[in-house]
Amino acid sequence: MQKVLDVWAKCKHPNLLQLIRQETFQGRPVAVYGRLEYGGIQPYLKHHPEADPYQLSAQICEGVVYLHNNGIIHGNLKGRQILVSVDGVPRIQLSIETSTTIVDAGRGLGNIRWTAPKLFMLGFKRTLASDVFALGMTILESIIRDIPYATMPPDCSLSQIITAGVLPSRPIEIIPDNHAGNSVWGILCECWSHRPDDRPAAAHVRDFLLTVSQASGGPVLKLVVSEGTTMQDLVSHFEGRGLMNYTNLLQETDITAAAPYSDTKLANVYKVQLSNQQWVAIKCVKHVTPYKNIKV
């Protein structure tokens, strides 16, 4: 326990539970840390059904990325190990399994649902990759608001099922069979790859989740704008969210030069009446650069 406290004392990150100080109780070292409103992600999501599980999971990933960047293996990642503040900030609590070295997994395998397959085998050790497996299960836990393998019958041997490579069943009503849903399920399956070397880094998982948000019909992918983003990308993105594409109507309209309706440093805005008598605003940039082209 003292080794864990020494590691914990050096950790400073908004998504890690802050250790206030170390104390001794009945001759043993104990941790003193601040109380948070919710003692796990499940209680938080139960009281906040409107919370976005993808953004919550992205913050959890931030904490794991910090640990891994500092050579720290959490070793016991799961929803109950993540406390949540009243304003929805998750903070990972370190555990007795946390270590700065690859350690044997012969003890502490009580949290079977989050345990990587090879940890059930004699001689295999906890690694950054086994953390990523648990991270994937924790993300699933956030999305479905239930424990992994929740639909498995109570009399089944979960350790044998996980060792055999059987993944949790996909909840189609929550992670639907569409582009966004398939992308989410794909990254989770990568986290659960049977071969540890095939699992992504926690930073990669975080970067993906930052592009996802929760909508009424399931996850949706955000548009990440870069210099490689084309006008067609923007149009497709906005059309997919129910916005009108005026391209054809603009081509049918006889647009004549006129004074701009609005004149700014970066662009002119023109007021144009379409062939269907609808008025629209057209924004034209003044300087052609990759960044400003995206702003059209």
Residue 127: other Cβ atoms inside 10 A: 19
What percent of the chain is modeled with pLDDT above 90? 49
Residue 292 has a pLDDT of: 47
Q: Are 175 and 167 in contact (CB under 8 A)?
A: no
| Residue 139 pLDDT exceeds 80 | yes
- The stretch 114-118 carries a mean pLDDT of 92
Whether 54 shows a pLDDT value over 90: the answer reads: yes
Query: Regarding beta strands 82-84 and 28-33, do their DSSP bridges make them parallel or antiparallel, or are they unpaired?
Result: unpaired
In the predicted structure, residue 290 carries a pLDDT above the cut 60 = no
CATH class of 2-221: mainly alpha
pLDDT tens digits, one per residue of 147-201: 999 988 876 788 899 999 999 999 999 999 999 999 999 999 999 999 999 999 9
For residue range 252-261, what is the model confidence (pLDDT) as tens digits?
777 766 778 8
Average pLDDT over the chain reads: 85
Mean pLDDT of 136-144: 98
Q: Would you give the distance in Å from CA 193 to the centre of its chain? A: 18
Helix locations, the chain, DSSP H = 2-10, 41-47, 53-69, 128-144, 158-163, 179-191, 202-209, 231-239, 247-252, 290-294
Higher pLDDT, 238 or 269: 269
- Domain spans in the chain, listed from the N-terminal domain onward: 2-221, 244-294
Q: What is the pLDDT of residues 74-89, one digit of tens each?
A: 989 999 999 999 999 9
**Partners of residue 213 on adjacent β-strands:** 220
